[in-house]
Amino acid sequence: MSDKLIIGSRGSKLALVQAESVAANVRHAKPNLEIQIRKIVTEGDRNIAVNIEEAGGVGIFVKALEDALIKCEIDMAVHSLKDLPVLLPDELGLIAVTERSDPRDVLVASETINRLKPGAIIGTSSVRRSAQLRNIRPDLQTMGIRGNVDTRLRKVASGEIDGIIIAAAAMLRLGRADEITEYLPLDHFVPAAGQGALAIEARRGDKFVADIAVSINHVTTWQAVTAERAFVDYLGGGCSAPISCIAVVEDGVLIITGMVSDREGKNMLKDHVEGDAGDPEMVGRLLAEKMLSEGAKVIVDEIRCR
């Protein structure tokens, strides 16, 4: 068995903080293991001007890491789980997740959502966030925004835009919680599947890494995000429709809430189901089937045809 583990990560400050947190978990479980973090530049980092959807979705942040895994240049890759596509290369698998941080979205602005002036410009590159914002404040404008967390926050501080919507977990991990204006309620802003959790991706059949993964995997988070990813997959999460969900596990019961919307936030559907946390994929599919029967299929198909 090897005595060295190479963890692959994007090179941003947030990504490295996340990779180091996984490394700390591994050190605690395997104190005699030598750990190295290797920075990998992804297409999403290399070209911050490109539109995420036009470039193939959030997968642009993971492909270079996956290539490094397949070439055996790294042993595991650490991702923000919300950035990891549901469909992975045949050679790779999602083998563990960390305990989830706060899954909510937050607003960084001079005012709360309800008090922002009509016409205020809110930066977000997420169609999901834009649709949910337009649903409750159709008088606000949204602007696509890319770049790391520091870059986005500077745009607010300089007055270039009036605010940004960003994951609470990102702000918390960077120690910038004091800059959060408002934690956005889950009943109005359903987060992306997996938001707040870190994903560990590795080569299938790698017993060395699999043994490490067992020691750091957070079971209830795994159950919750497995249901969420099954929900997105069943709905056809590769499309550009605003689709989101959040699951929680309480006393062996998994409760998952989903949202599907058109891009304008005018035709929005939300629902939830409960089920056995021991079969999270089934619970996620159950919610997807329920929402498809309630009209989600029409919403998703209309966006696919554009």
Active site residues: 83
For residue 72, which phi and psi values (nearest 5 degrees)?
Answer: 65, 30
Tell me which H or E stretch contains 258.
Answer: strand 253-261
Residues 66 and 187 sit within 8 Å (Cβ to Cβ): no
Residue 209 near residue 75, CB atoms below 8 Å: yes
Q: Please, which residues have CB within 8 angstroms of residue 207's CB and are 6 or more apart in sequence?
A: none
Helix (H) or strand (E) holding 273: strand 268-276
Residue 285's SS3 state is: helix
CB atoms within 10 A of CB 205: 9
Token pair recorded at residue 116: 């922002």
Give residue for tokens 């001007």.
Answer: 49
Alpha helices, DSSP H only, in 40-145?
43-46, 63-70, 127-136
Q: What is the DSSP string of 217-241?
A: --HHHHHHHHHHHHHHHHHTTTSSS
Cα separation, 115 vs 235, in Å, equals 35
* Distance of alpha carbon 277 from alpha carbon 281, whole angstroms: 9
Burial of 80 from C-beta contacts in 10 A (0-12 / 13-18 / 19+): buried
